């Protein structure tokens, strides 16, 4: 099974491309969804987090208190690493179950949806090829504004906090340039990529 890491800046069109690849028969792997699941009420990371950080980091609903943890991580430099040491192995188990299921279904291609692939670095070793969905900053701003109601300045701040476009492009094995094209034209580009992935 070919493992593709799909990434791109906010509003680049990652989710749209992923949905098109899934229509072509790829299996999607969503690491963020596993991360949310294990830190939700009753999730496997909750008791280890309670033991490592204390009750104060568990919200009244029994899930991880994300706002409190974020705040804590600003002032305690090791907090993020300690939290990740708890969460990552559990996320890894969830992903392994997805991979096993995809294999049993006879899928030829797995697409890992990893918005922060370039930022985190850790994922690069886990995939065979990196697929970057790219567009200009102006298009990112227009798309995200239309979808979310965020202001132009807010979207620009998010873009500035993400990996620079050049760095993301440098990490790519394949780029889908999703700018100035409609969804039908995007589908044509995705179909070409899918063929090169054996789909
Ligand atoms: P985020 O990082 O915020 O999750 P994303 O990279 O997953 O965003 P999408 O959600 O796929 O981006 O796309 C953002 C919006 O732009 C969606 O409403 C999508 O329908 C639209 N869009 C993406 N590509 C095109 C295109 N080529 N033509 C028209 N609309 C598009």
CATH for 43? 3.40.50.300
| 85 plus 132 within the same structural domain | no
Give the pTM.
0.89
Do residues 98 and 114 both lie within one domain?
A: no
- Atom 28 in ligand 1: residue holding the nearest Cα: 182
13 lines ligand 1 (CB under 6 A): yes
135: helix, coil or strand?
A: coil
User: Residue 141 class from Cβ within 10 Å (0-12 exposed, 13-18 middle, 19+ buried)?
Assistant: buried
Q: What are 141's two structure tokens?
A: 């701003």
Q: Are 88 and 144 in a shared domain?
A: no
Residue 16 is assigned to a ligand binding site: yes
DSSP 77: T
Q: Looking at the structure, do residues 197 and 144 belong to the same domain, yes or no?
A: yes
**Closest Cα to atom 13, ligand 1: which residue?**
13
CB-ligand 1 contact for 12 (6 Å cutoff)? yes
Per-residue pLDDT at 126: 87
The pick from 6, 9, 10, 16 for probing ligand 1's pocket by mutation, whose C-beta has the most ligand atoms within 8 angstroms, reads 16
**pLDDT at residue 77, rounded to an integer:** 85
Instruction: Classify the complex by whether its ipTM is higher than 0.90, answering yes or no.
Output: yes
C-beta of 165 in contact with ligand 1 (< 6 A):
no
Residues 87 and 150 in one domain: no
Q: CB neighbours of 113 closer than 8 A, spacing ≥ 6? A: 6, 14, 15, 18, 28, 29, 30, 31, 32
Tell which of 47, 82, 106 closes a domain. Answer: 106
Q: Are 87 and 53 part of one and the same domain?
A: yes
Residue 147 Cβ inside 6 Å of ligand 1? The answer reads: yes
Among 43, 76, 106, the domain boundary falls at 106
Q: What atom in ligand 1 is closest to the CA of residue 181?
A: 27
Q: How confident is the model at residue 46, as a pLDDT? A: 98
Q: Is the CB of 190 under 6 A from ligand 1?
A: no
Q: Which long-range contacts (CB under 8 A, 24 or more apart) does 149-157 make?
A: 155/10, 155/11
Under-50 pLDDT residues of the chain: none
Contact predicate 1/103, CB 8 Å:
yes
The phi, psi pair for 43, rounded to 5°, reads: -70, 155
pLDDT value of residue 120: 80
For the chain, the domain total comes to: 2
Residues 159 and 189 in one domain: yes
- Full residue range of the structural domain in which residue 96 is found: 30-106
User: Distance (Å, rounded) from C-alpha 176 to C-alpha 180?
Assistant: 12
Can you tell me which residue has the tokens 């999607």?
28
Q: Of 48, 73, 106, which residue sits at a domain end?
A: 106
């Amino acid at each position: 099974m070919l493992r593709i890491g799909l990434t791109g800046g906010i509003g680049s069109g990652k989710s749209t491309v992923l949905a098109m690849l899934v229509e072509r028969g790829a299996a999607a792997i969503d690491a963020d969804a596993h991360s949310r699941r294990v830190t939700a009420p009753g999730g496997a990371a909750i008791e280890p987090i309670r033991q490592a950080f204390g009750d104060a980091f568990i919200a009244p609903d029994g899930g991880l208190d994300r706002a409190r943890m974020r705040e804590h991580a600003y002032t305690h430099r090791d907090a993020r690493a300690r939290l990740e040491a708890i969460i990552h192995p559990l996320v890894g188990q969830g992903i392994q179950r997805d991979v096993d299921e995809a294999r049993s279904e006879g899928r030829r291609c797995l697409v890992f949806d990893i918005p922060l692939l370039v930022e985190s670095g850790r994922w690069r070793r886990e995939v065979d090829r990196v697929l970057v969905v790219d567009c200009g900053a102006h298009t990112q701003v227009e798309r995200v504004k239309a979808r979310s109601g965020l202001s132009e300045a807010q979207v620009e701040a998010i873009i500035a906090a993400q990996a620079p476009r050049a760095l993301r492009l440098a990490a790519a094995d394949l780029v889908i340039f999703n700018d100035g094209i409609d969804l039908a034209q995007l589908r044509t580009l995705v179909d070409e990529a899918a063929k090169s992935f054996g789909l």
